[in-house]
Amino acid sequence: MKHWLRLLLLLAAAFTLATLLEPAFRKWSDRRAAARSVLASILGDSRRLFANHFFVQADVYLHSGYYPSIFDESLAGETGIDEHEDERDHSAHKNPGECKHDFLGKPRNWIDRFGRNFFPSKHTHLGEKGAQAAQAREILPWIKFSAELDPHRAESFTVGAYWLRQMGRTNDALQFLREGLRSNPSHCEILYEMGLCYEERQDEALARNLWERAWRHWIDQESAKSEPDRLMAAQILTHLARLEVRAGRRDRGMAYLEELKKVSPQPAEIQKRIEEVRAGLPFDILAKPQSPSR
């Protein structure tokens, strides 16, 4: 009998304890679920630092390890390979002649000359040729880690999506961009990149919707700034104009080109395009106007 009483007492105590602990546990587990990842919770705000490092690491991988150290950068008074190239025009990597990549210069001494045998000392790119585009997948882990650690860094999503598209993995690119959009709603760069994905999937209506949204958000977010992101605007407008001209809506296409003329550093060139469209000529994206300086 005594045993039964003890058991009952224990059960009652356990039940009481459970009712006391349950709300606290629920609160804790909700908070834990809200956190994006364990790593992000552990690292706190320093995760942005790591995210930045991982993003740079992706660029290191894109150059197959050939990358300047902070010492090379400080000596050259430059801030790295990407500074010479447009950050968003990722295809710029395809023309190494356009930028300075010889950060190593001539060997400084015999140790330097000897040491160059033991690290990547030639400028190359992953996925330079079409068939080798799959090689560029090696940069994806660092992009993903960067995006995971700092989801508010939209660049991680757009660069990742760009390379996924290059590999013909448009669905993965879209999925990744949707993740980015959840953390950066109405980010015009993500919307623009999503538009490119839908265009690749031949869904021009959705692409147009996204670019129009991107353009509206660009006006809201950027136009009031002292140094607006003109390159982004130029890219959105060029694609919108081309889509409209292709769909036979030349007036709307020309309206977008007029807008493009305002943000372009070469309005005369854009005016020529407007005249071409007015004359009924097709609007060729490959001969797109030069990227304005940022």
In the complex, the residues that contact another protein under the rule CB under 8 A are: 61, 64-65, 69, 71-72, 74-75, 108-109, 111-112, 114-115, 117-120, 137-138, 140-142, 144, 164, 169, 172, 176
Q: Minimum distance from CB of 266 to another protein (Å)?
A: 38
Q: Which amino acid is at 138?
A: E
Tell the smallest beta-carbon distance from residue 115 to another protein (Å). Answer: 5
* Tokens 């694609």 belong to residue: 239
Residue 66 CB, nearest distance to another protein (Å)? 8
DSSP H or E segment with residue 278: helix 267-278
124 neighbors 63 (Cβ within 8 angstroms):
yes
Residue among 164, 122, 170 at smallest CA distance from 141: 164
User: Smaller CB distance to another protein: residue 161 or 263?
Assistant: 161
Sign of the dihedral defined by the CA atoms of residues 62, 67, 69, 70, in that order? negative
Give 72 or 276: the residue with its C-beta nearer to another protein. Answer: 72
Whole-angstrom CA distances from 128 to 8, 96, 160, 212 are 74, 10, 16, 32
Closest CB to another protein among 17 and 75? 75
Q: At its nearest, how many Å lie between another protein and the CB of residue 76?
A: 10
Nearer to another protein, 58 or 236 (CB): 58
Residue type, 142: W
Instruction: Indicate the SS3 state at residue 67.
Output: coil
* Beta carbons of 171 and 203 less than 8 angstroms apart: no
Q: How far is the CB of 208 from another protein (least distance, A)?
A: 27
Minimum CB distance to another protein smaller for 169 or for 261: 169
